Amino acid sequence: MADQSNTATTGVRGRLPAWPRQALNASVIAAEQAYRKRSGLPLLTDEDIANLKAGEPLAWERGDGVPAASPASAVPPAATLAAPPLDSAPVPPATAVSTAGLSLEVAKQVAAGKKWSKSSIAAEQARRKRNNLPPLTDVEITALLGETSAAAPAAPVVATAASQAASAAAPAVRAAAPATPAGPPPVARSGESTRYVGTPAVGTSKAAAAGGVASVGPEDGPVNQQRRRFVWSAVAAFLVAWFLAFFRFFLPRTLFEPATSFKIGYASDFGLGVDTKFQQKFRIWVDRTPDRIFVIYARCTHLGCTPDWKPSENKFKCPCHGSGYDSEGVNFEGPAPRPMDRAHVELAPDGQILVDVARLYQWPKGQPTQFNDPGAFLST
Ligand code: FES
């Protein structure tokens, strides 16, 4: 749709910024031409284009039609076509807005009733910084966020866009703000209205930092410090435990078994019969008969259980499958295939009995016995 409100008797402004304006580049002029072509408006002449590029008024803007600096059409120099978010929004005529400390374009946005997000403001700040434009003030940011600031109640309320435009006739609208009699001083940039609570949204941090917004995180109070210390301690403890487990992997897993050769005392320490005092420690019984002393290895020859000595029955009884052995360890009942083995015994230089359970003497079924071999017993 053509911008009929901009139509003058001697010219059509279309979407061109009203005079005074900055010099326009070729792409902006080309966009204007395309718009005019689409809308059926008269195209810009070569003279118009030359004037626009030179920053000169169009022929009909020199006084033939619309006044060159019409209060209703003037915009501050800072407002250019390169800032579409601010320039393209229409201003509802009947909307009352507070313009104290606001530039015209911000006043338009506020009057349009559109609330900006913090990331949008940060992006706008970055854009202004790139284009060497003055940044948004805290008052403007507060107004764009739609927040109620301390400045709002005391600021005078301007009724329509027409009156805003009238105030825009000055080269810089913002310069009119100090003239507001009851206007409070601007809020400091580090105030609450510009402070992010938490992490800035993804993708906005650079723009926010460029705009001076969103660079402040939550306060580093003692509780947060304590929490952070706790988290780091937990992480450190986990890493230490993990590294210890990792290095333990390289250490050999050695089983420390009891010695197989040991002394059990003197022969005179043992009376006739079975002595079980070394059963728990060395898994042996010391057996003494009238003419010899020998050591029975306490392991059932069926499947390896440790039999129990039954003194009342004068026999060994295996608890696993019921094999029975007499007092000398010779099997006589149950599934045991042969007598229990006997350990090697000899006298140590000090006269004690030295037992070696690594050397066993057996009596296999149907074969000669080893129980009478030297070392299988000691004569008494
Ligand atoms: S293990 Fe002793 S009887 Fe089976």
pLDDT number for residue 349: 95
Q: What is the dihedral of CA 256, 260, 262, 268, to 10 degrees?
A: 140
Residues 69 and 79 in one domain: no
Q: Separation of 322 CA from ligand 1 center, angstroms?
A: 6
Number of Cβ within a 10 Å radius of residue 206: 12
Across the range 309-338, mean pLDDT stands at 96
Q: Separation of 345 CA from ligand 1 center, angstroms?
A: 26
Q: Which atom of ligand 1 is nearest to the CA of 336?
A: 3
Residues 98 and 205 in one domain: yes
Domain assignment present for residue 228? The answer is no
Q: Which atom of ligand 1 is nearest to the CA of 334?
A: 3
Question: Last residue of some domain: 150, 180, 213?
Answer: 213
- Measure the CA–CA gap between 177 and 194, rounded to whole angstroms: 20
Across the range 261-270, mean pLDDT stands at 94
pLDDT number for residue 336: 96
Q: Separation of 288 CA from ligand 1 center, angstroms?
A: 24
Beta-bridge partner residues of 316? 309, 325
Number of Cβ within a 10 Å radius of residue 312: 5
- Measure the CA–CA gap between 253 and 138, rounded to whole angstroms: 70
For the entire predicted model, the pTM comes to 0.39
pLDDT number for residue 40: 83
Q: 215 versus 255: which is more confidently predicted?
A: 255
| CB within 8 Å of 184: residues ≥ 6 apart | 150, 151, 154
Domain assignment present for residue 348? The answer is yes
- What CATH number did the domain enclosing 312 receive? 2.102.10.10
Could you tell which of 299, 302, 309, 333 is best to mutate to test the pocket of ligand 1, judged by most ligand atoms within 8 Å of the CB?
302
pLDDT number for residue 199: 53
Query: CB under 6 Å to ligand 1: residues?
Result: 300, 302-303, 305, 318, 320-323, 334-336
Q: Which atom of ligand 1 is nearest to the CA of 305?
A: 1
Q: Separation of 331 CA from ligand 1 center, angstroms?
A: 11
Domain assignment present for residue 230? The answer is no
Mean pLDDT lowest among 57-66, 267-276, 308-317: 57-66
Domain assignment present for residue 244? The answer is no
Answer whether residue 319 shows pLDDT above 90.
yes
- Measure the CA–CA gap between 160 and 355, rounded to whole angstroms: 115
Question: Last residue of some domain: 59, 74, 89?
Answer: 74
Residues 148 and 173 in one domain: yes
Residues 87 and 170 in one domain: yes
Q: Are 186 and 138 in contact (CB under 8 A)?
A: yes
pLDDT number for residue 201: 54
Can you give the chain as a three-state secondary structure string? CCCHHHEECCEECCCCCCCCCCCCCHHHHHHHHHHHHHHCCCCCCHHHHHHHHHCCCCHHHHCCCCCCCCCCCCCCCCCCCCCHHHHCCCCCCCCCEECCCCCHHHHHHHHCCCCCCHHHHHHHHHHHHHCCCCCCCHHHHHHHHCCCCCHHHHCCEECCHHHHHHHCCCCCHHHHHHHCCCCCCCCCCCCHHHCCCCCCCCCCHHHHHHHCCCCCCCCCCHHHHHHHHHHHHHHHHHHHHHHHHHHHCCCCCCCCCCCCEEEEECHHHCCCEEECCCHHHHCEEEEECCCEEEEEECCCCCCCCCCEEECCCCEEECCCCCCEEECCCCEEECCCCCCCCEEEEEECCCCCEEEEEEEEECCCCCCCCCCCCCCCCEEC
pLDDT number for residue 39: 84
Residues 79 and 169 in one domain: yes
Q: 111 versus 274: which is more confidently predicted?
A: 274
- Measure the CA–CA gap between 107 and 125, rounded to whole angstroms: 16
Which residue has the CA at smallest separation from atom 1 of ligand 1? Answer: 303
Across the range 13-20, mean pLDDT stands at 81
Across the range 352-365, mean pLDDT stands at 95
Domain assignment present for residue 246? The answer is no
Could you tell which of 323, 325, 333, 341 is best to mutate to test the pocket of ligand 1, judged by most ligand atoms within 8 Å of the CB?
323
Mean pLDDT lowest among 155-164, 199-208, 216-225, 286-295: 155-164
Beta-bridge partner residues of 345? 355
Q: Separation of 326 CA from ligand 1 center, angstroms?
A: 15
Across the range 284-305, mean pLDDT stands at 96
How do 342-347 and 353-361 pair as beta strands?
antiparallel
Answer whether residue 240 shows pLDDT above 50.
yes
Residues 65 and 83 in one domain: no
Across the range 127-150, mean pLDDT stands at 80
In the chain, what percentage of residues exceed pLDDT 70?
68
Residues 189 and 314 in one domain: no
pLDDT number for residue 94: 39
Question: Last residue of some domain: 179, 197, 213?
Answer: 213
Domain count, the chain: 3
Q: 332 versus 62: which is more confidently predicted?
A: 332
Domain assignment present for residue 249? The answer is no
Q: What is the dihedral of CA 99, 101, 103, 109, to 10 degrees?
A: -50
Banded pLDDT at 75 (limits 50, 70, 90)? very low
Residues 112 and 70 in one domain: no
Please work out, in degrees rounded to the nearest 5, the angle formed at the alpha carbon of residue 378 by the alpha carbons of 375 and 379.
135
Please work out, in degrees rounded to the nearest 5, the angle formed at the alpha carbon of residue 305 by the alpha carbons of 299 and 311.
70
Residues 108 and 65 in one domain: no
Residues 89 and 57 in one domain: no
Could you tell which of 296, 297, 303, 308 is best to mutate to test the pocket of ligand 1, judged by most ligand atoms within 8 Å of the CB?
303
Range of the structural domain that residue 126 is part of: 75-213
Domain assignment present for residue 242? The answer is no
- Measure the CA–CA gap between 364 and 348, rounded to whole angstroms: 29
Q: Separation of 61 CA from ligand 1 center, angstroms?
A: 120
Q: 236 versus 68: which is more confidently predicted?
A: 236
Q: Separation of 307 CA from ligand 1 center, angstroms?
A: 8
pLDDT number for residue 158: 40
Q: Separation of 358 CA from ligand 1 center, angstroms?
A: 21
Could you tell which of 306, 321, 333, 338 is best to mutate to test the pocket of ligand 1, judged by most ligand atoms within 8 Å of the CB?
321
Banded pLDDT at 176 (limits 50, 70, 90)? very low
Answer whether residue 80 shows pLDDT above 50.
no
State the number of CA atoms in the 13 A half-sphere of 73 facing the CB: 21
Residues 70 and 97 in one domain: no
Q: 371 versus 73: which is more confidently predicted?
A: 371
Of the candidates 184, 162, 159, 171, which has an alpha carbon nearest to the alpha carbon of residue 98?
159
> What is the chain's length?
380
Q: Separation of 85 CA from ligand 1 center, angstroms?
A: 94
Answer whether residue 82 shows pLDDT above 80.
no
| CB within 8 Å of 114: residues ≥ 6 apart | 89
Answer whether residue 380 shows pLDDT above 50.
yes
**Of the ranges 114-118, 141-145, 223-227, which is most confident?**
223-227
Residues 66 and 91 in one domain: no
Domain assignment present for residue 98? The answer is yes
